[in-house]
Amino acid sequence: MLLRFSQQKACAKYNYKKWHYWGLILSFIPLCSYAEPWDNKFYNPKPASDDVILPMPCDGRLVMKKVFTPTNKPLEDVKVILGSNQKELGFAEYATPNYISGSFSNENEERYYLIGKYEITALQYQAVMNGTCPTAKVNLLFPVTNISWFDAIAFSNKYNQWLLENQSQLKAMPKGYVRLPTNTEWEYAARGGMKVTESEFRETVFPITGGLENYAWFSGAKSANGKLQLIGRLAPNPLDLYDILGNASEMMFDSFRMNKLDRYHGQQGGMIIRGGSYLTPESSISTAFRSEKPYYDNKGAYQSKDVGFRLVYTTEVMHSKDSIKELEKQWNELGNEVESSNDNNVVNELEKITKQVEDEKTKKELNQLNLLLRSANQSRDEQRDRSIQSALQLGAFLCANVSDLNDKYEYNNNLYNTMINEICDASDSSELESTDMCSKTKLNNLNQVVIDSRNARNFILKYYADTIVSTASNYEKNTINEQAKATQFILQSSGKANMSDYLKLYLKHINQYIVSGKIEQSVWLQTCNEIKGRK
């Protein structure tokens, strides 16, 4: 998605207007300057097909990546556990529940926000902040450091102003703006978002091949060796983000808050620094690592030689009258049991009672009770949806697993039948040495392998049938089918697209069972095998 902007044309047009207005003499004054358009290596050393590229001043570029969340509606969000399970520095890093969603959505896609593929470089910083355009050079491809949080905010503001003035170049982009990432946005992306499984998401480092030195610059001779490094020279995380750990630490938009076991403490502190840097020991580099730095020290606004930043691209929530109406509609539906098959909708009944009450104090208390009840219903519904998604993923895996086990059983059974019917003479087997392939011992052992493989297949097949019955019994049919799309997206995003057909089949078996009430293990086994045969 390459969006091009010509700094030369813009300057020429600007100078012509100034000359025409002020006279010939001013045409000799350099009212703006420009440099040659940046070569790809100066802003995107590791290009990919799904890069989102924003224009910058001086014919520059900023590369971003989409970070999808398993949400569809504006008021939907998903619970994520951030931080570490280690008790050391628990007040700063202990596992804490958070919620995340995305600012944008495309048709048939989940909601997403965008985050910088690389840290902001000295070249990009100068292109926005300087009065003249820098010449693209390799020595400007280091992350910009020795700047304050306020400098990063000023950079964001000045860049946004430029984007507004050149918004005609952003036709392919949704309306939005850049800013520093929040603590939650940064860590969700750093861990790999939906590109990793739930268990991988909870690891201290995203999935890596080989050592951490292949992905992050940290202190020590085997890595950064005390020096800041050029961007994009190591391997990325699963979201294709480079140097998200190590090299330059990164500043967050929101302030530091301590951990109180299951939530963040109410006091807002200094700035949050994430990811570690080239001065951080390898043992401290993790996606949970975060430290607090003051906004000011005795020298003024705090800045450091190993602290930089990357940007996110988001937008406001209430951006139009239509969006406000939609939000109001969705909010009124939260926890309101609008899909409840129970005629005794407690929330609605409570609202009816409240309308009939004349005493203002009682009415206020009933309204508060109504909100508490809706909140409890909402939490219940979110937990239910997550449980259904887990059940659907399990069913897909069991369907794939039982077909694998059936292959093993059929192979062993065919081998045994071939041995006793075509190769070995049963009358001679008892007289042969135990090491002979046709001996009674060998045949008995092979027969036991057949029995064991059949039992293993049947056990998983029974488990598969049990999950169909329990899922169909515990949840409404419409709710199960609604969660199938979200589950499909989770499987595809985390690299399990090969499970999609098994998920569809599992959902089909559930719906068939709901209608017929029949346990059809042999049919279910046959159809799971058919999918494997097509792959």
pLDDT of the residue at 442: 84
Cα torsion 217, 223, 225, 228 to 10°: value is: -20
Residue 255: strand pairing partners: 271
334-341 LR contacts (CB < 8 Å, sep 24+): 334/75, 334/374, 334/377, 334/378, 335/373, 335/374, 335/375, 335/376, 335/377, 335/378, 335/381, 336/374, 336/377, 337/377, 339/476, 339/478, 339/479, 341/476
The domain that holds 31 is classified in CATH as: 3.90.1580.10
Identify whether residues 305 and 413 lie together within a single domain. Answer: no
Residue 79: strand pairing partners: 99
pLDDT of the residue at 187: 97
pLDDT of the residue at 535: 62
Average pLDDT over the chain, rounded to whole? 85
**Residue 21 domain-assigned (yes or no):** yes
pLDDT of the residue at 245: 98
**Residue 160 domain-assigned (yes or no):** yes
Alpha carbon distance 311, 500 (integer Å): 34
Identify whether residues 267 and 122 lie together within a single domain. Answer: yes
Q: CA of 372: how far to CAs of 99, 347, 352, in Å?
A: 19, 10, 16
More confident residue, 452 or 90: 452
pTM of the model: 0.73
Query: Which of 111-115, 238-242, 260-264 shows the lowest mean pLDDT across its residues?
Result: 260-264
**Residue 22 domain-assigned (yes or no):** yes
Return the closest-CA partner of residue 407 out of 221, 499, 225, 532: 532
Residues 81-106 have a mean pLDDT of 85
463-522 residue pLDDT tens: 999 899 889 888 888 889 989 888 888 888 877 778 889 999 999 999 998 888 888 999
Alpha carbon distance 220, 281 (integer Å): 7
Identify whether residues 156 and 257 lie together within a single domain. Answer: yes
Identify whether residues 86 and 160 lie together within a single domain. Answer: yes
- Residue 32: is its pLDDT beyond 50? no
- Looking at the structure of the chain, the number of domains it has is 2
**Residue 460 domain-assigned (yes or no):** yes
Return the closest-CA partner of residue 129 out of 106, 162, 170, 101: 162
Map tokens 């910009």 to a residue.
144
384-408 residue pLDDT tens: 888 899 999 999 999 999 999 999 9
pLDDT of the residue at 531: 85
Alpha carbon distance 379, 218 (integer Å): 41
Of 314, 330, 358, the position where a domain reaches its end is 314
Q: Are 98 and 65 in contact (CB under 8 A)?
A: no
C-beta neighbour count of 171 within 10 angstroms: 7
2 band by pLDDT with thresholds 50, 70 and 90: very low
- Residue 332: is its pLDDT beyond 90? no
Identify whether residues 396 and 508 lie together within a single domain. Answer: yes
Identify whether residues 309 and 404 lie together within a single domain. Answer: no
pLDDT of the residue at 282: 96
Question: What's the number of CA atoms in the CB half-sphere (13 Å) around residue 170?
Answer: 18
Alpha carbon distance 124, 88 (integer Å): 38
Of 273, 298, 314, the position where a domain reaches its end is 314
**Residue 226 domain-assigned (yes or no):** yes
Identify whether residues 54 and 138 lie together within a single domain. Answer: yes
What is the domain range of residue 468? 380-534
Alpha carbon distance 397, 394 (integer Å): 5
**Residue 461 domain-assigned (yes or no):** yes
Identify whether residues 287 and 393 lie together within a single domain. Answer: no
Of 261, 290, 314, the position where a domain reaches its end is 314
pLDDT of the residue at 5: 41
**Residue 309 domain-assigned (yes or no):** yes
**Residue 349 domain-assigned (yes or no):** no
